[in-house]
Amino acid sequence: MIKSVMVMNTQGKPRLAKFYDFQPVEKQQELIRSVFGVLCGRADNVCNFVEADSIFGPGTRLVYKHFATLYFVFVFDSSENELAMLDLIQVFVETLDKCFKNVCELDIVYNYSKLHTILDEIIFGGQVLETSSIEVIKAVEEISKLESASNAIALVSKSVSGWRSR
């Protein structure tokens, strides 16, 4: 099971932190700081897999990928495959690239809800749902269409009710 997904910049500021098992906010912040401490101390030429027993408990591993100014980190238990998790990070980043046309840190900051929607289409409740970025993009576009239709209906109903009261 995936325990956590984190996206943080090279200064350690979390841009996304999603925990799939309950953690109090203080504990989440402590875990994020610990993960960043491990990542920033690693050389660029070492592998992207880290045993995270001391941070998250026994049997926990961490896999990360560094793109430009962002670290994408997945924390998972021994039931998941390390290479599959590394590939899942790649799928997540490719999907973000397709949605935001070459994703950067500002896209993540200003499109927080879309980022969560994309992540929820890939992983839900700590389980992998979809590994195809094309399918994820289709689902996100459908959700966006439904949201715009819902907003349009809300605007129309307000204008119609205002017209009727005259």
Complete DSSP assignment for the chain: -EEEEEEEETTS-EEEEEESS---HHHHHHHHHHHHHHHHTS-TTS-SEEE-HHHH-TTEEEEEEEETTEEEEEEEETTS-HHHHHHHHHHHHHHHHHHHTS--HHHHHHTHHHHHHHHHHHEETTEE----HHHHHHHHHHHHHHHHHHHHHHHHHHHHHHHHT-
Confidence of residue 52 (pLDDT cuts 50, 70, 90): confident
What's the confidence (pLDDT) of residue 124? 93
What's the confidence (pLDDT) of residue 162? 54
pTM (predicted TM-score): 0.85
> What integer is the mean pLDDT of 21-37?
92
> What integer is the mean pLDDT of 92-102?
91
